Structure 1
Amino acid sequence: MQLGVIGLGRMGRIVVDRSLDAGHDVVVFDVSAEATAAAAEAGAEPADSLADLCDRLGEEKRIWIMVPAGDAVDATLSDLEAHIQADDVVVDGGNSHFEASMRRAEATDAAYLDCGTSGGPASAEAGFSLMVGGPEWAYEAMVPVLDVVATGPEGHDRMGASGAGHYVKMVHNGVEYALMQAYGEGFELLHDGRFDLDMESIARTWNNGAVIRSWLLELCEEAFHEEGSDLGDVADHVAGGSTGTWTVQEALEQEVPIPLIYGALAERFDSRNEGRFSRRLANRLRYGFGRHEVNRQE
């Protein structure tokens, strides 16, 4: 099928590259001419504006937006407004707040799919986990692309009505915070405890058959291998926090207790103060799955 992709950062390029590798025709646009040219070299058809992209897509447009959450999404939709209609489909693959996605779905002439995307740049080869909200017909229309951008047919599903995809992704990120905190606290006790221990060896052993094995634990092993058991100069400063904050806010509104997620979020905020080993590991893990910059100690 033919797909338009708007936004060619790390995540947008993965959507482009995986779609091209599967034989789909991809038209691309980015505010960076260099990014557009690089995607064209990989086999995509370049467009010099959103209007040009829509013209190249023809009828029944299928458009994937992968721009930063917030104003950039609204600006993109505003620019697309004159070029899309009811039988077109627009996918928002960023980390938008679910209420913003519900508002956009109501205001957009085309079918709007909010697509929570998990896996980060590290999933370029394996594919993403995709959590989609919006009209069922629009989801079904995008399945050929979803199958290849995700890990496969089992790597994506329609979560429900508009907003449901980003809602599920929001809670996913809250769970991610808590898991990172749990691993961090465990390794902090091992690091500061009774024995002189090799953190990489522990992570590797746990990753082979232990109940707590996971991809995050594999990233712990990678971090200790590359940084050393004491994490070298990795700083105690964990960036991010918006999706975790949204999760806690929603839990308060729904009166659902989530003490582990709240505690992990509080630790992330407190990391801007004193230094802790657990938060230094969380800092490094964010590089492992999302290629976020690692803050280093001075």
Structure 2
Amino acid sequence: MQIGMIGLGRMGGNMAKRLVAGGHQVVGYDMSPESGRDVDSLEALVAALDAPRVVWVMVPAGKPTDDTITRLGELLEAGDMIVDGGNTRYVDDARHAEELGKLGIRFMDCGVSGGVWGIDRGYALMVGGSKEDFEFMRPIYETLKPNDDYGLVLAGPVGGGHFAKMVHNGIEYGMMQAFGEGFATMVRSELVDDPAAVMTSWKSGSVVGSWLLDLLANAFKDDPTLESMPPVANESGEAKWMIEAALELGVPTPATAAALYARQTSRGGGDDTLRVVSTMRAQFGGHVTKA
């Protein structure tokens, strides 16, 4: 197939390369002249594609995605297809689909997981949209996904792909937090000589074996103590959205919430709270807290 790729960063650029290697024709656009782009504007991108056009949007969620999709709506024609592969909040997908639908432009949302390794391993794709549109896009999806029977699913109607990716990332938060807590516990124990070696041993035969653990074991090779890494973890929003959605659905998510709060605390988000706690302990019990 022929496809336009908007956003040639760490994810979009590698996805474009995997598609080219799979025999597709990719016309790439990025705002950065150093991105290796094929065209220098959205207008040029649309002009370079044959109808019915397929355009994959891989830019940051929020205003950048909104602005890009709005502009594409002005440039594309009825019958063309837009796929939003970024981390857009699922509630925005229905709005995009409705606005584009009035123009006869088809729309799908696709949650993408795989990071910088996806170019070789393939990407896990969680798609939202109609079955008809899914089959139309299948050659692209099949090339991007891993070379086995997994990694691709039509999660549901429009919005379903990003909803599934949101849940996927919430689970990811919890898994990483659990590994971190286990490592920290062993570090502080006199009974474990080499926590890094212990966790690396779990790569084979253990029920907690996973790609996340494999990646952690890779990092241990260069820094078994992880002291070179700052004790700060950012959060990109998906876990927060998942917790909000789960609350609306009446689903308790204590593990995901705890992982999210841990990341927020790591950035100093809990400093003022803890100052209040320390102050009250000192007032009622004379407890002196040392840094």
Tell me whether the two structures share a fold, i.e. TM-score over 0.5: yes
Look up the equivalent residue of 1:96 and give its one-letter code.
T
Look up the equivalent residue of 1:31 and give its one-letter code.
M
What is the aligned partner in structure 2 of residue 227 from structure 1? 223
What is the aligned partner in structure 1 of residue 283 from structure 2? none
* Residue 127 of structure 2 corresponds to residue 132 of structure 1: yes
Look up the equivalent residue of 1:16 and give its one-letter code.
A
- TM superposition score normalised by structure 1: 0.85
Query: How far apart, CA to CA, are the structure 1 residues paired with 2:196 and 2:221?
Result: 6
Q: Superposed, which structure 2 residues align to 1:92-171 within 5 Å?
A: 92-108=84-100, 109=103, 110-152=105-147, 154-171=150-167
Look up the equivalent residue of 2:75 and give its one-letter code.
H
Look up the equivalent residue of 2:181 and give its one-letter code.
E
What is the aligned partner in structure 2 of residue 5 from structure 1? 5
Contact 1:62 1:88 in 2 (8 A): yes
Query: How far apart, CA to CA, are the structure 1 residues paired with 2:217 and 2:259?
Result: 21
Of 45, 56, 63, 2:55 maps to 63
- How far did 1:124 drift? 2.0
| Bigger relative contact order, structure 1 or 2 (CA pairs below 8 A, ≥6 apart) | 1
Query: How far apart, CA to CA, are the structure 1 residues paired with 2:180 and 2:269?
Result: 15
Query: How far apart, CA to CA, are the structure 2 residues paired with 1:155 and 1:175?
Result: 16
- TM superposition score normalised by structure 2: 0.87
What is the aligned partner in structure 2 of residue 19 from structure 1? 19
Look up the equivalent residue of 1:113 and give its one-letter code.
M
- Cα gap change, 1:74/1:241 in structure 2, threshold over 3 Å: closer, same or farther? closer
Q: Superposed, which structure 2 residues align to 1:1-298 within 5 Å?
A: 1-35=1-35, 38-39=36-37, 46-108=38-100, 109=103, 110-152=105-147, 154-228=150-224, 230-273=225-268
| Greater Rg over alpha carbons, structure | 2
Look up the equivalent residue of 1:132 and give its one-letter code.
V
When the two structures are aligned, how many residues end up with a matched partner?
266
Deviations 1:108-148 (Å, cap 9, x if unpaired)?
13111110011111222111100000122211111111111
Contact 1:114 1:133 in 2 (8 A): yes
- How far did 1:54 drift? 1.1
- How far did 1:83 drift? 2.4
Structure 2 counterpart SS, 1:87: coil
Query: How far apart, CA to CA, are the structure 2 residues paired with 1:256 and 1:86?
Result: 40
What stretches of structure 2 of length at least 5 have no aligned partner? 271-291
Contact 2:235 2:260 in 1 (8 A): no
Contact 1:94 1:116 in 2 (8 A): yes
Contact 1:66 1:92 in 2 (8 A): yes
What stretches of structure 1 of length at least 5 have no aligned partner? 40-45, 276-298
Query: How far apart, CA to CA, are the structure 2 residues paired with 1:204 and 1:272?
Result: 28
Q: How high is the sequence identity, in percent, across the aligned residues?
A: 38
